[in-house]
Amino acid sequence: MIYRETGQYKATYGADQQLFPIVQDRYFFFAFMAFLVIYPVFFGSDYLFQVVLYPVLGLGLCALGLNILTGYCGQISLGTGGFMAIGAYSFFKITTIFPDLNILIIFIFAGLISALFGILIGLPSLRIKGFYLAVTTLAAQFFVEWCINRSDWLSNYSPSHTIGAPPRELFGFLVMGPEAPGSAKYLVMLFIVAVMTLFARNLVRGRIGRSWMAIRDMDIAAELIGIRPLFTKLSAFAIGSFYIGVGGAMHVMFNLENVDPEAFEIFSTSFPILFMIMIGGLGSILGAYMGAAFIVLLPVLLRNAFPFLGIDIASHVIQHIEFMLFGGLIVFFLIVEPAGLARLWQILKEKLRQWPFPY
């Protein structure tokens, strides 16, 4: 009843093309953003930050990058972990070489290096499609892991090739490193994620986004109406890898803080992020974050559910139950709604528009 668009007329194309054409959506969005800023800053505990917010933001941005590539442009990639590692190690190298450089600029450079590598990995996509392309992107994964393990220079000669988050300031506030307050790190992450998400939203609704989707839906027709496949696919690889690189750098520098190359293994990065966009919704920006929240929060909820219900089970049993439930829920979601959580959200909104008089 409250969620009505009656009487909201659009008199110009500009008004029709805005991000939130429905007023209620706009208010809800701003309220939600305000909540995201205010609540954690005043009431956030370390547990909330480290278990929920950092991973959802960091991995969510990576999922968004993969969604640009896979969900919007239709190029399946299994090299996400490799691009995250490139972002993280680039950030580490640049910030140790230029300690005084503004970290926002370093994030951009880390993303750019990842984007360059993405273009390289994307080159076979002109000839190879689908699963075969996915296999070629594994090259990114394995090559980067190999590189990090072999090159001592990349980790500043640390014995186990570990990198850590150095203490860094942004506009006079300590925002990085073990001593930095949780809320400061959180706000920097939230700012980067919000700006990059807005940019991604603008890209996918504009010319480039339409080219990506055209290539995804019907590549031959796209070519015959003048879209250049090579440029379009490589731009998706570049921009997707940029997002994954920045996301990976943030995930390591703000959340994990100390990582060795094993952290970027295919089973701990590439696959979970692919699951995030499948569960969240391919070709949806909101879906990337919903999927990230789902994958990150589900184990947390399951872990807390049994003690909360007063059932006393040994922790290793809980862990096994967690895996089973997790697998089961993924199968359940993929069967019930293959288009993902974002589609469920959309259906809910369509239903809500008519509620309580659905005729």
Partner 1 sequence: MVTDHKQIGEALLQVNNVSLSFGAVQALSDVSFEVREHEILAIIGPNGAGKSSMLNVINGFYTANEGSIVYKGISRAKMEPADVARNGVSRTFQNIALFRGMTTLDNIMTGRNTKMHRNFIWQAIYIGPARNEELEHRRKAEEIIDFLEIQAIRKTPVGRLPYGLQKRVELGRALAAEPELLLLDEPMAGMNTEEKEDMCRFILDVNEEFGTTIALIEHDMGVVMDISDRVVVLDYGRKIADGSPDEVRGNQSVIDAYLGVSRE
The size of the chain, in residues, is 359
The C-alpha atoms of residue 201 and residue 208 are separated, in whole angstroms, by 11
- Of 61, 73, 88, 208, the residue at the interface with partner 1 (CB under 8 A) is 208
Burial 208-220 (b: 16+ CB within 10 A, else e): bbebbbbbbeebe
Q: 181 to 200, contacts with partner 1 by CB under 8 A?
A: 199-200
> Among 12-20, 117-125, 176-184, 344-352, which window interacts with partner 1 (CB under 8 A)?
12-20
Q: Binding of partner 1 at residue 202 (CB under 8 A)?
A: yes
Nearer CB in complex with partner 1: 177/229: 229
Q: Binding of partner 1 at residue 252 (CB under 8 A)?
A: no
Nearer CB in complex with partner 1: 141/235: 235
Q: Binding of partner 1 at residue 14 (CB under 8 A)?
A: yes
Total residues contacting partner 1 by CB under 8 A comes to 30
How far is CA 175 from its chain centroid? 21
Q: Binding of partner 1 at residue 349 (CB under 8 A)?
A: no
User: Does the CA dihedral 104-105-110-111 come out positive or negative?
Assistant: positive
- CA separation, residue 176 to residues 82, 119, 239, 253, 286 (Å): 23, 30, 26, 7, 27
- Of 2, 225, 335, 336, the residue at the interface with partner 1 (CB under 8 A) is 225
Q: Are 61 and 242 in contact (CB under 8 A)?
A: no
Quick one: tokens of 177? Answer: 């490193």
Check residue 172 and give left, alpha or beta (phi > 0: left; psi -120 to 50: alpha). left
CB of 327 to partner 1, least distance (A): 28
CB of 102 to partner 1, least distance (A): 19
- Of 1, 2, 220, 314, the residue at the interface with partner 1 (CB under 8 A) is 220
CB of 3 to partner 1, least distance (A): 18
> Among 55-63, 128-136, 220-228, 273-281, which window interacts with partner 1 (CB under 8 A)?
220-228
Q: 38 to 97, contacts with partner 1 by CB under 8 A?
A: none
Q: Binding of partner 1 at residue 203 (CB under 8 A)?
A: yes
Q: Binding of partner 1 at residue 283 (CB under 8 A)?
A: yes
26: CB partners within 8 A, 6+ apart: 19, 20
- Of 5, 152, 217, 262, the residue at the interface with partner 1 (CB under 8 A) is 217
Cα angle 22, 28, 30 (rounded to 5 degrees) comes to 105
The C-alpha atoms of residue 357 and residue 359 are separated, in whole angstroms, by 6
Contacts 24+ apart (CB under 8 A), 324-327: 325/298, 326/298, 326/299, 326/302
Nearer CB in complex with partner 1: 220/314: 220
CB of 210 to partner 1, least distance (A): 5
CB of 135 to partner 1, least distance (A): 25
Name the residues that contact partner 1, by CB under 8 A: 13-14, 17, 199-200, 202-203, 206-208, 210-211, 213-214, 216-218, 220-229, 235, 239, 283
